[in-house]
Amino acid sequence: MSDARTVSDPVGMVLLGVCAGWALMSAAASGGRPEGVLLAVLAVSAAYAFGRIYGALLPVGALVTTALVGLVLAFLLPHVRTAPEGSSPLGHGGATAALLALAAGAACCAAWVTHSVLARRALWALALLITAAAPVLDSMAGLTLCVGILLCSLAAARLARRAFGLGALAAGAAGVAAAAWAVADDALPDGLMSLLEGQLTPYRVLLWRDALEMAQDHPVLGVGPDRFGELSPTVAESLVPDGRPHSALLQQAAEQGFVGVALLALAFGWVLFALLRSPRPTVVAVTAGAALTAVAALAAIGDALSFTAVTVGSGLLAGMATARPLALERW
């Protein structure tokens, strides 16, 4: 296990460095603006490192703090940033759902880590409170994801090998990404396309198709970071454009080409690999993986990752779930 961790940590840092380097190359070739990508990579790296340290020092307290902060931010987010026209139902609503998923995942992880029966009951109550907060925030996506994370966490307690659970999560994330790509490519049956278009809104589907066309026209380097809004006909015709296709997957394809998509997939795969080799118990690794997979699924069909709180929260949870505790807390 220690040998695998010695390999996974530097590989992850190298991979994040390659992601930043590729954004610079794409920007240099097309005149794009890589600052947003570089800041996102920096935020995730710093949050992951901090999560590792925080999780090692306070194995339970770090997770509890993350859960509480995530819940508070989910309530504050709609007042901090208003979703632009056309972003419903997965604009700031998607970010709210992502924060609730991360908070629920952190609370469940803390419940499994603590050695106190009373604290464990309180933490499960916190996880249920976070789930109950989703309808209050009018976030059906958040409710669905939180319930799914709770069920995954309970099922993970019976897993003998974490590889099975993490593999299923990887397959789920790949399925959502494939479905988003199929919608953009108009490759689904008419009835299913109409149903999904009604849920996603026609505006979002048009944005996805613009992004896919850009990716097909510039398959290697893309059109350049932060240039989608300049080149999208749908954005040009929108009354309140925000310059994003509302899909991290398709934005990466449009702005950084298929190489960028591969790097994005490898980054998510590395997180799951780090959880596979984590010194934390299997139930903690799989629960954290479920929460991070929920964020990945939201990012594939929305712009959740454009919110700093979500990217930082994801890095924190990944870091805490892969940390090796230095001492036991009195929880």
pLDDT value of residue 83: 43
Q: d(Cα 216, Cα 188) in Å, to the nearest integer?
A: 19
Q: CB-hemisphere CA count at 13 Å for 176?
A: 19
* pTM, rounded to two decimals: 0.93
Instruction: Give one DSSP letter per residue of 158-191, joined into a string.
Output: T-S-HHHHHHHHHHHHHHHHHHHHHHHTT-S-HH
Mean pLDDT of the chain: 90
Which residues contact residue 237 at a Cβ distance below 8 angstroms, ignoring those fewer than 6 apart? none
Residues of the chain with pLDDT below 50 are 1-3, 80-90
Interior CA angle at 43 toward 39 and 44, to 5°? Answer: 120
Q: What pLDDT, in 10s, does the model give residues 24-42?
A: 999 999 888 999 999 999 9
pLDDT value of residue 276: 94
pLDDT value of residue 328: 58
pLDDT value of residue 240: 66
Which tokens go with 268?
């998510």
pLDDT value of residue 303: 86
Instruction: Give one DSSP letter per residue of 19-65, joined into a string.
Output: HHHHHHHHHHHHT--THHHHHHHHHHHHHHHHHHHHHHH-TTHHHHH
Q: What pLDDT, in 10s, does the model give residues 156-172?
A: 999 989 999 999 999 99
Q: Which residue ranges make up each domain of the chain?
A: 2-321
Note whether 211 and 247 are within 8 A (CB). Answer: yes
